[in-house]
Structure 1
Amino acid sequence: MGGKPGSEPEDQPIGVDAPRPRRSRSRWARTMWVGLAVLCFAIGVVGIFLPLLPATDFFLLAAICASRGSRRLERWIRANRFSGPAIDAWERERAISPVAKCLTVVMMSLSLTIIYLHTGFNLVFWAVLAVLVAVAAFVLSRPSPSRGQRRDSN
């Protein structure tokens, strides 16, 4: 992430029809962008297992932040086996994989069951149910990624 300014290649693709964000000039700003990227990536990993944290959104945010602080970190996030396919599918087709859809619905059901066991049928339960149903409807309404559309990563 260090290195000489301008030592990172500028010709690496970062997304579909996306303008390349300018890399911050100040060392302090780059450090802050990298720190934010790492934080967002970590939250995205947690979001794989917790239904109310959208993993793909945090992975996308991590890639955006990394592009301002470190092209090398951005390439790593996009090539990572957990975040790369989700970022690529979302950027290219606004799609969510069937496995991710299934895992989302299962984890939301588990979360709702736990909330019910702790609170019963009260206002909290019904509010969480409404949010989870809306999120599940959105996730299930997204198309699945086309086969063979994954771009090659370096």
Structure 2
Amino acid sequence: MRALWLIGGLLSVGLALIGVVLPLLPTVPFLLLAAFCFARSSERLHAWLLSHKTFGPMIADWHRSGAIRPNAKKAATVSIAAVFGISLIVGVKTSVLIIQAVVLSAVLFFIWTRPNS
């Protein structure tokens, strides 16, 4: 069972890293999932994740108060706007743009209604 938790943690870290550059893939939820999985599989990886210079504070902020740092909110907003702008430029179908606008607006609403850390 520990091996499954370890694989889940490693996959979650991988998805979080991809989410750093892809705005539609959230980073923090995957980091939280990785911390959860590592807590059940590897004390060393769990400690590494919680003490990581970049990821550790995000996990601590979320666990403490459900907070997202203002810089992370701004970065997410810029990334989401860039993705939507690229979709407009390349001429994505109107129906897809509408779906994208609704989903991205919901994501932005969620992000900006979380407390600041």
TM range (shorter): over 0.9
Give the gaps of 5 or more residues in structure 2: none
How do 1:133-144 and structure 2 match up within 5 A? Answer: 133-144=105-116
User: Residues of 2 paired with 1:119 and 1:80: CA distance?
Assistant: 40
TM-score w.r.t. length of structure 2? 0.94
Task: Check if 1:103 corresponds to 2:75.
Answer: yes
Q: % of aligned pairs identical?
A: 34
Structure 1 residue 121: Cα displacement: 5.5
Structure 1 residue 67: Cα displacement: 1.0
How do 1:2-151 and structure 2 match up within 5 A? Answer: 29-120=1-92, 122-145=94-117
**More helix, by proportion:** 2
User: Residues of 2 paired with 1:33 and 1:119: CA distance?
Assistant: 42
TM-score w.r.t. length of structure 1? 0.72
Match of 1:11 in 2: none
| Aligned-residue CA RMSD (Å) | 1.2
Aligned length in residues: 117
Runs of 4+ in 1 over 3 A off after TM superposition: none
- Structure ID, larger Rg: 1
Structure 1 residue 66: Cα displacement: 0.7
Q: Which amino acid aligns with 2:104?
A: L
